[in-house]
């Protein structure tokens, strides 16, 4: 409430008399002085309150900005330590060459024939890509700013990639025997990709305030155990080299760098099974690779064992079962008694019984082994 609203007509008259130099009696002077002091105090209080509200508002805005830009500092684990939120977006180069897809699929099928339990660890062929940078983008505003970062960093390297630059993939390697990937041959193109990845990481760190991953290691992931944490409970904490050692020198083919994409890790895949693309910067390169993905992306992995071998094993198992049945039916009560402990029988009968028992045991063990083999192969169909 302002000073003018609190001043009455009497106060105004007193002020005029004072300004004109007209002397007032003591009570009038005292009354005027008290009124003025009260009004001044109220005005001062109002001004302090207004400034306090402005400071509170500014502080709240500053807190909101800080919380939005450093959101990870407000997420804490059970020990009270600050946790960095998991990335939900990444910038990548799509690997779309069907030739590479065919080779990757063939390797995955060969590994799964040897170890069917790894079926949950394979990377779907339609999602093959090279990761350049990752980030946690909490809302649509950050996604828009991340798209601007992609355009800015991509434009710096656009002139180089407009010359139809290609990456060549060959050889199988691992990260700590937990991730199996195809290597990328050293080249001028790979060096340019590494520089672009470094630019993206620096820009994303400035955007989000979050630390970035240490060092860019270009690779094409084929299989990784982290896709299924239950594998560790099954005793599969490493990818055995025996599963891929005979394919370690495989040549996959080459991929033209057509552009860079801002991709979502959590949103549903598109109609082709690839990551949801929030933004893309395309380079000016001719489209020369094949578009037929009917054999590599639209057909599931074929990990069925040889049906002819399964049929042969089933026939052998049936035959062994019949042999066991005939053996048991041919035993008389007397021969069974001699088998299970009549020591006073003639030695010839004991020898016959021991021989018969050994035959039955061998056949039984063989049958159990065959049944286990057939069940294991059938479970991978």
* pLDDT of 49: 74
Q: CATH: 3.60.40.10, 3.90.1140.10, 3.40.50.150, 3.40.1370.10. Which one for 89-282?
A: 3.90.1140.10
Give percent helix, percent strand, percent coil of the chain, each to the nearest 5: 55, 15, 30
* pLDDT of 61: 60
Q: Is the pTM of this model over 0.75?
A: no
Alpha-carbon gap, residue 93 to 87, rounded angstroms: 17
According to DSSP, residue 328 is labeled H
Please report, for the chain, the start and end positions of each structural domain, with discontinuous segments joined by +: 3-69, 89-282, 307-379
Q: How many CA atoms lie within 13 A of 118 on its CB side?
A: 26
* pLDDT of 307: 46
What's the rounded mean pLDDT across residues 140-150? 95
pLDDT digits (tens, 9 = 90+) for 204-228: 988 888 766 666 788 999 999 988 8
pLDDT digits (tens, 9 = 90+) for 27-80: 555 655 666 667 667 777 777 777 777 766 666 665 555 555 444 444 544 555
- CA 192 vs CA 139, 160, 195: distances in Å: 31, 8, 5
Q: List the end-to-end C-alpha distance of the chain, in Å, as a whole number.
A: 83
**173 φ/ψ angles, rounded to the nearest 5 degrees:** -140, 170
346: left (phi over 0), alpha (psi -120 to 50) or beta: beta
């Amino acid at each position: 409430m302002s000073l003018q609203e609190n001043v009455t007509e009497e106060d105004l008259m007193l002020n005029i008399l004072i300004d004109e130099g007209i002397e007032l009696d003591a009570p009038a002077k005292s009354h005027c002085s008290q009124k003025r002091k009260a009004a001044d105090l109220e005005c001062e209080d109002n001004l302090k309150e207004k400034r306090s509200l402005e400071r509170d508002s500014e502080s709240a805005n500053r807190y909101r900005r800080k919380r939005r830009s450093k959101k990870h500092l407000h997420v804490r684990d059970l020990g009270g330590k600050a946790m960095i939120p998991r990335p939900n977006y990444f910038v990548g180069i799509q690997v779309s060459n069907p030739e590479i897809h065919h080779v990757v699929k063939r390797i995955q099928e060969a590994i799964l024939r040897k170890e069917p339990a790894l079926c949950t660890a394979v990377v779907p062929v339609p999602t093959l890509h090279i990761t350049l940078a990752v980030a946690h983008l909490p809302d649509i505003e950050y996604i828009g700013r991340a798209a601007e970062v992609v355009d800015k960093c991509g434009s710096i390297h656009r002139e180089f990639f407009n010359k139809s630059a290609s990456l060549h993939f060959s050889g199988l390697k691992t990260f700590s025997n937990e991730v199996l990937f195809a290597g990328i041959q050293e080249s001028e193109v790979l060096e340019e990709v590494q520089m672009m990845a470094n630019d993206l990481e620096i820009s994303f760190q400035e955007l989000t305030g979050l630390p970035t991953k240490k060092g860019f290691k270009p690779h094409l992931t084929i299989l990784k155990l982290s896709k299924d944490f239950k594998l560790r409970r099954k005793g599969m904490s490493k990818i055995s080299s025996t599963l891929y050692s005979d394919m370690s020198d495989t040549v996959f083919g080459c991929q033209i760098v057509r552009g860079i994409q801002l991709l979502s890790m959590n949103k549903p895949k598109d109609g082709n099974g690839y990551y949801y693309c929030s933004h893309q910067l395309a380079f000016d390169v001719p489209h020369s690779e094949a578009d037929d993905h009917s054999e590599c992306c639209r057909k599931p992995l074929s990990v069925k064992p040889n049906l002819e071998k399964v049929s042969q094993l089933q026939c052998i198992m049936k035959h062994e079962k019949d042999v066991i049945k005939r053996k048991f039916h041919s035993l008389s009560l007397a021969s069974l008694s001699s088998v299970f402990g009549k020591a006073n029988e003639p030695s010839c009968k004991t020898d016959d019984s021991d021989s018969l028992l050994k035959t039955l045991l061998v056949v039984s063990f063989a049958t159990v082994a065959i049944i286990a083999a057939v069940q294991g192969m059938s479970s991978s169909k």
